[in-house]
């Protein structure tokens, strides 16, 4: 999409907003498509994917005539954090057959670079390791001249009270294959381990593993620059804010050709936030409406943690915050985290929905440290985290694409949120 087409789309949408608020789904679809495009490289830290998304969001905020709130008059709150990346080679062959990254396997996100051809493989059944006094000796005895296929890692972790997502930190330097019965779910890590670990789908391993070839380029970035993008629509009461947040970052790229689009998580929530930003740009409220697009969520809620430690708008000035994460399909309604912490506000949501029937159901959930609302609510800011229930179950995989997101009932969620804000006036 060129700049002229992009600007024309924004102008047409804003003109439509001045007359009606019935353009939710087309608006969200258009922005979601841009955020999940190959040009965004999965909105991670390879090929400046997250940076491209940040630039796009800033451009939208400027087009909507939103106001910056930072002291330097920009939309940017910069910070940095360590992250492990895979910007180059990513290949794995078993018994001479090359596997497809993302589809047949994922790499442990804390893995280091590795290169080896036609390595002989030793298969170890860790489910048979029952002696608690010798399990560390078992792992440290691995010989680097071999690759290892490790079976029943989950059984091993349960027996020895080890977190499966930290199992790779126990391994010495070398190449490891861990068969997976469940779906492949990738992540982002800040640290590295000694080993290079591949999680391979069980059905991609059709025979006994005899040889393995692998070539991986990993790059640990000790100070990856990143940005929270912040803007507001001023209200009559300019120093009190109703706040919407969403994280725009995702997993990025696993090698130089495989990317994770992150449509539901969280291009959908970012697109919903942009819809609300455009709406409130032409529908000012009594209280100012603040919008924060966080980076670093997938790396450990880092963007929101940084904001709470260095607030641009004082936390005491935020009357209520709604975090939107995973808004791709509300066929089965939404779930509200912190509903039990703020029962009056949750009852307002339900009353609005009971009156207008925007979505099928609103489910209650208690506290959870599962998205960017968490650091705010822990700091005393009244906060909800709202996510949708529905869809095909694609999550942190290569299949979470824009074309797979239905946006069922998401227009109803937008109307629900708009009415919820109006209730504060």
Q: What pLDDT score was predicted for residue 2?
A: 52
Q: What pLDDT score was predicted for residue 13?
A: 53
What is the rounded average pLDDT for all residues in the chain? Answer: 94
Q: What pLDDT score was predicted for residue 164?
A: 93
Dihedral Cα 30, 263, 291, 58, nearest 10 deg: -60
pLDDT tier at 179, thresholds 50, 70, 90? very high
pLDDT tens-digit map of 61-116 = 999 999 999 999 999 999 999 999 999 999 999 999 999 999 999 999 999 999 99
**Percent of the chain's residues with pLDDT above 90:** 89
CATH architecture of the domain with residue range 89-216: 3-Layer(bba) Sandwich (3.50)
The secondary structure of the chain, three-state, reads CCHHHHHHHHHHHHHHHCCCCCCHHHHHHHHHHHHCCHHHHHHCCCCCHHHHHHHHHHHHHHHCCCECCCCCCCCEEEEEEEEEEECCCEEEEECCEECCECCCEEECCCCCCEEEEEEEEEEEEHHHCCCCCCHHHHHHCCCCCCEEEEECHHHHHHHCCCCHHHHHHHCCCCEEEEEECCCCCCCCCCCCCCCEEEEEEHHHCCCCCCEEEEEECCEEEEEEEEEEEEEEECCCEEEEEEEEEEECCCCEEECCCCEECCHHHHHHHHHHHHHHHHHHHHCCCCEEEEEEEECCCCCCCHHHHHHHHCCCCCHHHEEEEEEECCCCCCCCCEEEECCCCCHHHHHHHHHHHHHHCCCCCEEEECCCCCCCHHHHHHCCCCEEEEEECCCCCCCCCCCCCHHHCCCCCHHHHHHHHHHHHHCCC
Which residue intervals of the chain bear CATH 3.50.30?
A: 89-216
Please check the confidence at residue 20 and state whether its pLDDT lies above 50: no
Q: What pLDDT score was predicted for residue 7?
A: 53
Which residue intervals of the chain bear CATH 3.40.630.10?
A: 3-81+224-422
Nearest to 212, CA basis, from 126, 143, 128, 145:
145
pLDDT tens-digit map of 283-314 = 999 999 999 999 999 999 999 999 999 999 99
Preceding peptide of 266 cis, ω within 30°: yes
135 or 173: which leads in pLDDT: 173
Please check the confidence at residue 171 and state whether its pLDDT lies above 50: yes
Q: What pLDDT score was predicted for residue 18?
A: 47
Question: What is the pTM assigned to this prediction?
Answer: 0.94
Q: Which long-range contacts (CB under 8 A, 24 or more apart) does 351-356 make?
A: 352/416, 352/419, 352/420, 352/423, 353/416, 356/415, 356/416, 356/419
Contact of 372 with 309, CB cutoff 8 Å: no
pLDDT tens-digit map of 357-378 = 999 999 999 999 999 999 999 9
Q: How many CA atoms lie within 13 A of 2 on its CB side?
A: 2
Please check the confidence at residue 344 and state whether its pLDDT lies above 60: yes
pLDDT tens-digit map of 140-152 = 788 888 999 999 9
Q: Tell me what the mean pLDDT of segment 326-336 comes to.
A: 97
Q: What pLDDT score was predicted for residue 136?
A: 78
Q: Tell me what the mean pLDDT of segment 388-393 comes to.
A: 95
Identify the burial level of 120 via C-beta atoms within 10 angstroms of its C-beta, where 0-12 means exposed, 13-18 middle and 19 or more buried: exposed
Contact of 306 with 228, CB cutoff 8 Å: yes
Q: What pLDDT score was predicted for residue 236?
A: 95
Q: What pLDDT score was predicted for residue 317?
A: 98
Q: Is the dihedral of CA 328, 332, 337, 339 positive or negative?
A: positive
Q: What pLDDT score was predicted for residue 8?
A: 55
Q: What pLDDT score was predicted for residue 19?
A: 39
Q: Tell me what the mean pLDDT of segment 194-209 comes to.
A: 95
pLDDT tier at 26, thresholds 50, 70, 90? very high
**CATH class of the region 3-81+224-422:** alpha beta
């Amino acid at each position: 999409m060129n700049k002229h087409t992009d600007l024309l789309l924004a102008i047409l949408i804003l003109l439509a907003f001045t007359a009606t608020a019935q353009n939710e789904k087309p608006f969200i679809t258009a922005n979601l498509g841009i955020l999940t495009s190959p040009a965004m490289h999965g909105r991670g830290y390879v090929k400046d994917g997250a940076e491209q998304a940040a630039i796009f969001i800033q451009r939208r905020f400027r087009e909507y005539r939103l106001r910056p709130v930072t002291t330097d008059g920009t939309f940017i709150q910069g910070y940095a954090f360590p992250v492990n990346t895979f910007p180059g080679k990513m290949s794995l062959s078993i018994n001479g057959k090359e596997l497809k990254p993302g589809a047949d396997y994922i790499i442990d996100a804390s893995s280091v670079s590795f290169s080896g051809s036609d390595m002989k493989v030793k298969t170890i059944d860790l489910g048979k390791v029952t002696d608690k006094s010798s399990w560390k000796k078992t792992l440290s005895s691995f010989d680097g001249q071999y690759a290892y296929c490790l079976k029943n890692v989950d059984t091993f972790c349960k027996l020895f009270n080890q977190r499966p997502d930290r199992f790779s930190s126990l391994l010495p330097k070398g190449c490891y294959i861990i068969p997976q019965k469940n779906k492949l779910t990738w992540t982002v890590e800040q640290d590295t381990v000694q080993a290079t670990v591949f999680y391979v789908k069980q059905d991609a391993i059709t025979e006994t593993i005899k040889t393995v070839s692998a070539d991986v380029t990993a790059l640990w970035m000790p100070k990856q620059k990143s940005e929270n993008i912040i803007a507001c629509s001023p209200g009559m009461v300019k120093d009190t804010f109703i706040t919407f947040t969403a994280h725009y970052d995702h997993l990025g790229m696993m090698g130089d050709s495989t990317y994770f689009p992150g449509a539901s998580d969280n291009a959908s929530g970012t697109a919903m936030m942009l819809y609300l930003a455009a709406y409130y740009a032409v529908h000012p409220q009594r209280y100012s409406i603040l919008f924060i697009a966080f980076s670093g969520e997938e790396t450990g809620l880092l963007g929101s943690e940084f904001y709470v430690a260095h607030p641009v708008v004082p936390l005491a000035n935020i009357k209520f915050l709604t975090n939107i994460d995973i808004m791709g399909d509300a066929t089965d309604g939404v779930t509200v985290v912190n509903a039990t912490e703020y029962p009056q506000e949750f009852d307002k949501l339900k009353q609005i929905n009971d009156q207008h029937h925007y979505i099928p159901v609103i489910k209650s959930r208690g506290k959870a440290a599962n998205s960017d609302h968490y650091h705010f609510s822990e700091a005393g800011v009244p906060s909800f985290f709202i996510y949708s229930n529905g869809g095909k179950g694609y999550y942190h995989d290569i299949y979470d694409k824009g074309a797979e997101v239905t946006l069922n009932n998401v227009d109803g969620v937008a109307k629900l949120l708009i009415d919820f804000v109006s209730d504060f006036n």
